[in-house]
Structure 1
Amino acid sequence: MYAPRAMPVRHRLLPDGHIVVTGAAGDFAFFDSDEFDRFRTFPHRLDLRKQADLRARFLLTDGAMSRGMQRLLASRIAAKRETVTAGPSLHIIVPTLQCAHSCQYCQVSRSLDDNGHTMSLSDLNAACDTILESKSNQLTVEFQGGDPLLRFDLVKHAILRIREGAAANRRIRFVVASTLHQLDDAMCAFFKEHSVYMSTSLDGPRALHNANRPTPGRNAYERTLAGIQLAREKIGADAVAALMTTTKASLAFPEAIVDEYVRQGFREIFLRPLSSYGFAKRNQNLLGYSVQDFLNFYRRGLDRVMYWNQRGLELREVYASILLNKMLSTFDAGYVDLQSPTGAGSSVLVYNYDGFVYPSDEARMLAETGDRSLRMGRIGESLNELFNSPVRQQLVEASDVRFMSDCLDCAYNLYCSPNPVDAQAQHGTMNVAAGTTEHCQRHTALFDAIFSTLRTADEDTSALLHEWAQVRETCANA
């Protein structure tokens, strides 16, 4: 009879003094310091129930692993990588940069003039045809801007072309990201007919939203709410989702922001940090804040979300759901920024108004300030050509945790990934030590916080967190 022994694992000391241990397939367990010492040296001295639990999690074994268990472990690891290997499933079309807003944190230049800021019809047709080359059975086609509704004619044309060219059994989900200020009954009728979802920005209560997202009439908040109401009435009650962006002005109001989402009838909120890309990077003195500032804001916001759930109101925090999906689910929802190798250029492609294809929305934002190093190719090139482009190969090499020194021994190795696009934006190169990037520091702290929450969760909270971990499309496309 073989004595139990610990399998190869990674571990991390959490801020609360406990230790989290993670295995090859992403299973994990918590230990106090004494238990952890026994686990590493004399695992047979652990409580028998603890030993059984660790075996089930591929953290403890009795001798050599059987061939069947080896296949099961390999299959579970492969399932975690499936969204990257399945091909591009998220395709973003940027038909125009036109927008009436002048948001302080906007990452791109914007203009009311469509001259030079709008995609040509030939490029739009070519982008649609490239999208249909994707082998993925489920596609999401998202229209970004600017504000795509200012060129509804192009959005409508693209949706019809993709619908006509797609196989009858292919599942295609369309999303239009807009302020909704231009939304009208005719647009709603078309969107309803083609099952199009709307996504908008709501940064919080009136004063905060209007400060972050100024318009000439200073009534951005009222017009956004009117657009949300129209979409719900004409397209469907669940046809519109909202996203917020955390600026320096937001940091003092996490509870008020969460309460605003509750007041407006939303059942999800994404407590999303500011992205320092493109033109937003120039406003860092006005808008920026530290990782710790965001973490403090996030914890308070998450506590407020829990407050509402404890009172019987269903409200999901999307960032936590993304991390919990990584930690608790066998199947990865495919959040682009935490894929290894990166989902940028592999599971997502962006067809920009300028006639070029980029690996992510953030990469095309960099191009607006002159850094065009992440262009994968021209619109009209085949998926095979885009996938074999030098840019995509560089992205893959700069985000494979198997070869990144800062990631090799990290307990969150299977949940996370370096973000080469973020590194390019912050440091001017993709090849930097992951631990020096804001992306790594923020997600390490967030995983710490979520693991600590899981460890101390009561039965009801644990059930809620496991429910949040279930695969949902908003996780994949957030």
Structure 2
Amino acid sequence: MLTDAYPTTLYPFRFRRLAPDNIVAVSETGDHIFLNDSTLSDLVHRFANFSAPQIAELKSKFFLGPPGGTPGLRRLISSRIAAKHETVLSGPSLHIIVPTLQCAHSCRYCQVSRALDDEGHTMSMDDLDAACDTIFESRAQALTVEFQGGDPLLRFDLIRHAIERIQTRNIGEQRHLRFVVTSTLHQLTEEMCQFFKAHKVYLSTSIDGPEELHNRNRPLPGKDGYERTLKGMSLARRIIGVDAVAALVTVTRNSLEYAETIVDQYVDLKLHDIFLRPLSNYGFAVKNAHALSYSHAEFAAFYAQAFERVIYWNRQGYPLREVGASIALNKVLSTHDGGYVDLQSPSGAGLAAIVYNYDGFIYPSDEARMLAEMGDFGLRLGKIGQPLAQVLKSPVQRDLIQASLGRYVPGCDECAYRTYCGPDPVNTYGRFGTTRAPIYLTDHCQRQMWLFDYLFQKLHGEDEDFLNLAFEWAKPNGG
């Protein structure tokens, strides 16, 4: 029990009810505790009656402390809070280059309205060189350069040129570089693999589940998309290495009945990461929404079933990580933020990630350039070749920052998960035509609120094996 010799006061916190008599409370530093109605009341009104171990825990998680805090404690709290925002304060670290919009697929859910021809849909060499040089104007020491499309392997010559130019420039810059190519892998050759191995390039692809489902979601005239992707994956693994390729899932209405089968397919393919992504409201996905979309409740049921299957395989000794949960758990359990763009406040769009598009313009995120493909250019930041500092001071970027400061956004300001999350102004703009629609109406808010609720319930109720897995996933590099 506390005495007057050690004055202690209650520090600000927010809380959320997960179930009857099950409450999670989150301090300003992002530390959390589980309470019931009685202990919540005691914390607010009678915390002096807590036991010494309870008081120690509450102090260690910054729910209690000396009035006003000591200088050392104030610095500690400030540094803990700053660590949650480090990735949006050190300059863009993810640089996405879109060398071409060409792609042979006509995926019904595609976020990009892809092109079948090269004319007018490929980046000029001058813009490519300017984009490569602009990357180094960021203050970030660790730089990821990701090539997207369309399918960028259709213009491997541009990928080769960009990587060689960036690495030559980096001899003097001495940054930590990471290269990723996102592709169907259908055009992958031994020559490409040898180049990627020499330059430590990772590959990312899409595998939506078993062959029939994958080919239905990602049709080709030959109906062999799945077979060709696996052939490319096999080639990359043989030449580059067993961990050369990562994959992700886009969940359509067709996917809902395959929750466990999709997870099992990733195990069969000896993949150790699975990213269960919902549909996005861009490109062909909008045109085909009537056939592909589903309610939030339907996706939540699918995700929960698939997640339990992921846990099952881990308990069988097969390491498999669900990337979305890993990102959220990093926010909750780690003091070092992994830097996922969509969960930053202010938004990582532009501040942490930036896109150099084939059309010669710069966008704050992949979704923003997708809106441009749909005819809405309202989120353009500037032209490739402009100084990065000028681009990041543009009116569009300023608006994205202001609209994503959760502390000042109604609905976010009092949310228990504000420390872990933030508004997604690009997503909001895409749906409502403004960056400032009511947050509770956005898909982003509903989806992330549900995910944090779900994971906190599991953290509160699961056994030690799950907690160990959660802390492993929570590491900034994903475990």
- TM-score range relative to shorter protein: over 0.9
Match of 2:50 in 1: 46
Counterpart residue identity of residue 121, structure 1: M
Offset at 1:81?
Answer: 0.5
SS of equivalent to 2:143 = strand
Which residue in 1 is equivalent to 2:87?
83
Work out which of the residue numbers 390, 394, 404 in structure 1 matches 2:409.
404
Aligned with 1:12 (options 12, 16, 25): 16
What do residues 59-102 of structure 1 show as CA deviations (whole Å, max 9, x unaligned)? Answer: 12244421111110001000110000010000000001111111
Aligned twin of 1:191: 196
Mapping of 1:27-426 within 5 angstroms? 27-167=31-171, 169-426=174-431
The partner residue of 1:24 within 13, 25, 28 is 28
SS at match of 1:252: helix
- Pairwise CA distance, 1:6: 2.4
- Once the two structures are TM-superposed, the CA of residue 155 in structure 1 deviates from its matched residue by 0.6
How high is the sequence identity, in percent, across the aligned residues? 54
- Cα distance in 2 for residues equivalent to 1:63 and 1:80: 24
* Alignment partner, residue 450 of structure 1: 455
Once residues 6 and 290 of structure 1 are traced to their aligned partners in structure 2, the CA distance between those partners, rounded to angstroms, is: 41
**Letter in structure 1 aligned against 2:58:** L
- Match of 2:84, SS state, is helix
Alpha-carbon deviation of 1:47?
A: 3.3
- TM-fit CA distance, 1:132: 1.8
Distance 1:218 1:161 in 2: 38
1:92 maps to amino acid: I
TM-score, normalisation: structure 2: 0.97
Structure-1 separation of matches of 2:79 and 2:325: 25
Give distance in 2, aligned partners of 1:204 and 1:212.
Answer: 10
Checking the alignment, whether the CA contact within 8 Å between 1:2 and 1:63 is kept in structure 2 is no
Q: Distance in 2 between matches of 1:17 and 1:187?
A: 57
- Give the AA of the match of 2:99: P
Separation (CA, whole Å) in 1 of partners of 2:21 and 2:320 = 30
The Cα offsets for residues 428-475 of structure 1, whole Å up to 9 and x where unpaired, read as 111111111111011001100001110112112111100100011x79
The amino acid across from 1:401 in the alignment is G
1:468 is aligned to 473
Give the drift of 1:402.
1.8
Change (3 A) 1:306 1:16: farther
8 Å contact kept, 1:16–1:452: no
Choose from 437, 443, 461 the match for 2:442: 437
Contact 2:91–2:351, Cα closer than 8 Å, also in 1: yes
Asked if the contact 1:97/1:147 (under 8 Å) is kept, the reply is yes
Question: Is there any run of 5+ residues in structure 2 with no aligned partner, and where?
Answer: none
Distance 1:274 1:281 in 2: 9
CA spacing shift, 1:161–1:222, aligned 2, 3 Å: same
Aligned counterparts of 1:308 and 1:33: Cα–Cα separation in 2: 36
The one-letter amino acid paired with 1:399 is S
TM-score (norm. length: structure 1): 0.97
Partner Cα separation in structure 2 for residue 253 and residue 299 of structure 1: 12
Contact 2:94/2:352 (8 A) holds in 1: yes
Cα deviation 1:242-284 (Å, max 9, x = unaligned): 0110111111111001000000000111111111113311211
CA contact (8 A) 1:93 1:141 kept: yes
Report if aligned partners of 1:279, 1:369 keep a CA contact under 8 Å in 2: no
3-state DSSP of counterpart to 1:199: strand
- Bigger drift between 285-294 and 330-339 goes to 285-294
**What displacement does 1:185 show?**
0.4
Q: Which runs of 5+ in 1 are unaligned?
A: none
Secondary structure class of the residue paired with 2:413: coil
Whether the 8 Å CA contact 2:345–2:421 is kept in 1: the answer is yes
CA distance in structure 2 between the aligned counterparts of 1:135 and 1:165, rounded to whole angstroms: 15
How far did 1:3 drift? 5.3
- Three-state SS of the structure 1 residue aligned to 2:171 is coil
Letter in 2 for 1:86: S
Q: Secondary structure at the match of 1:375?
A: coil
What is the one-letter code of the residue matched to 1:388? K
Read off the aligned partner of 1:9 and give its amino acid letter.
F
